[in-house]
Amino acid sequence: MITAKEKIYPAGTVNYFFDYYSNACERYYILSSVDRRFKNALWKFKDGTACPDRDRLIEILVEYLKDIPNINDGSWSVFCIPASSEEKNIRRYTDLINRLKAVLPNVCFLNDHVKFTGTKEQKHTTANRPNINACSHIKLTQSISRPNVVIIDDIVTKGEAMMDAKRFLSAKGAKHFKFVALGKNFYAMENQLKKCA
């Protein structure tokens, strides 16, 4: 079992498993085989491409979530921060949610109650990043009756999407939050290496 690390962001403490190094960072830093493997597996996770490494990331999330104390007591919900479109969201999260449902029968999966109202510009590809709300293109079709919510994202950079999701779910009745991401973007190293280049 891979041990979760943690980092504090404005929304709260995010538990994550890997440091993620961007393509720009890789130009300045030779990634270890583990870092490169995670980076490639993450892209398979994001686009829903079946492969053993993607399955391993899903397994890591499932194992971690099922060990959260009292997760199956009927007071918990799970919410995966939505991808930029409904199609991408289905490819990204269907396998994960189905695996979680098999081991967490008393958890409400909020993504089952999400309606897409459009598409969203991707935060990581735009200079308009601070003005993009991670939940602006969805509606939740019911209020939240299980107020403890695990929010899941693939990569956390500055925690903006986590904060967007927290606000979005709070307005529907969520009270307590746990934040989980597969990886944390190691952009600080990238910035430092650029300065030294």
The vertex-192 CA angle with 189 and 197, nearest 5°, equals: 120
- What pLDDT score does 131 carry? 72
Region of poorest pLDDT, from 63-72, 86-95, 117-126, 162-171: 117-126
Each residue of 14-46: pLDDT tens digit? 999 998 887 776 676 677 888 889 999 999 999
Q: Kindly state the percentage of the chain with pLDDT values over 90.
A: 75
Residues 157 and 124: beta-carbon distance below 8 Å: yes
Contact 162, 179 (CB under 8 A): yes
The answer to whether residues 83 and 89 touch, using CB atoms and an 8 Å cutoff, is yes
Identify the band that residue 191 occupies on the pLDDT scale cut at 50, 70 and 90.
low
What are 8's strand-pairing partners?
13
> What average pLDDT does the segment 126-134 reach?
70
Burial readout 14-47 (b: 16 or more C-beta within 10 A, e: otherwise): bbbbbbbbbeebeeeeeeeeebeebbebbebbbe
Tens digit of each residue's pLDDT (9 = 90 or more) over 61-112 = 999 999 999 999 999 999 999 999 999 999 999 999 999 999 999 999 999 9
* pLDDT for position 49: 93
The domains found in the chain, sorted by start residue, are 5-196 (3.40.50)
**For residue 124, pLDDT beyond 70:** no
pLDDT score at 120: 85
Mean pLDDT of the chain: 89
Among residues 60, 77, 72, 76, the alpha carbon closest in space to that of 104 is found at 72
Average of pLDDT values for 125-145?
A: 82
Half-sphere exposure of 142 (CA within 13 A, CB side): 11
- Compute φ and ψ for 48, nearest 5 degrees: 75, 20
pTM of the model: 0.90
Say how far residue 140 (Cα) sits from the centre of its chain. Answer: 18
d(CA 151, CA 161): 10
